[in-house]
Amino acid sequence: MKIPENKNHKNRKTKPQKQKKQPRICSNCVPIIEKLQKMEIYKEENKGLRKENDDLKEAMRGLKDKNEKLEKRIEELEKQKETVSKKGAPKKIVIHWKQEGRFIWEMKN
C-alpha cells in the first residue's frame, strides 16, 4: 500500500533551521550589563587576591612560630645570665711570682 504523496507536506529534515536572533538590549539595560561584566572581572581579581592573602597568612604563621622560638631562646639565655651573675663573675688568674721556672698563681674574682 502506497501512501499518497501530499504536495503540501514538507520534509522537516531538509528544512533549514532558523538562526536564533540575539535579543535586543534596551538602552536602560546597557549600564546594568556593563556593571555585571565589571563585577565578573572583579570576582576573578578577588579570587587571585584571596589566594595571595592565604599565602601571606601561611607565611605569617611561619614567622610567628620562628618568633616564638626565638623569644623562648632569649628567655633561656636570660635565665642562664641570671644564674651566672648569682654565682659570681668568672675568676681571673693572678700571677704572683716566678719560682724555679714555675709560675705561682691563684684564682681571684
pLDDT in tens, 17-52: 777 777 777 888 888 889 999 999 999 999 989 999
Domain assignment of residue 57, yes or no: yes
Q: What pLDDT, on a 0 to 100 scale, did the predictor assign at position 25?
A: 77
Angstrom distances, CA of residue 12 to CA of 9, 15, 16, 17, 21: 9, 5, 8, 10, 21
Domain assignment of residue 105, yes or no: no
Q: What pLDDT, on a 0 to 100 scale, did the predictor assign at position 76?
A: 86
All 3 cell numbers of residue 71?
Answer: 623569644
How high does pLDDT run on average in the chain? 77
Query: Which range marks the domain in which residue 80 is found?
Result: 26-86
Distance CA 4, CA 41 (A): 61
Look at the chain and report how many structural domains it folds into. Answer: 1
pLDDT: which is higher, 52 or 108: 52
pTM (predicted TM-score): 0.39
Contact 25, 33 (CB under 8 A): yes
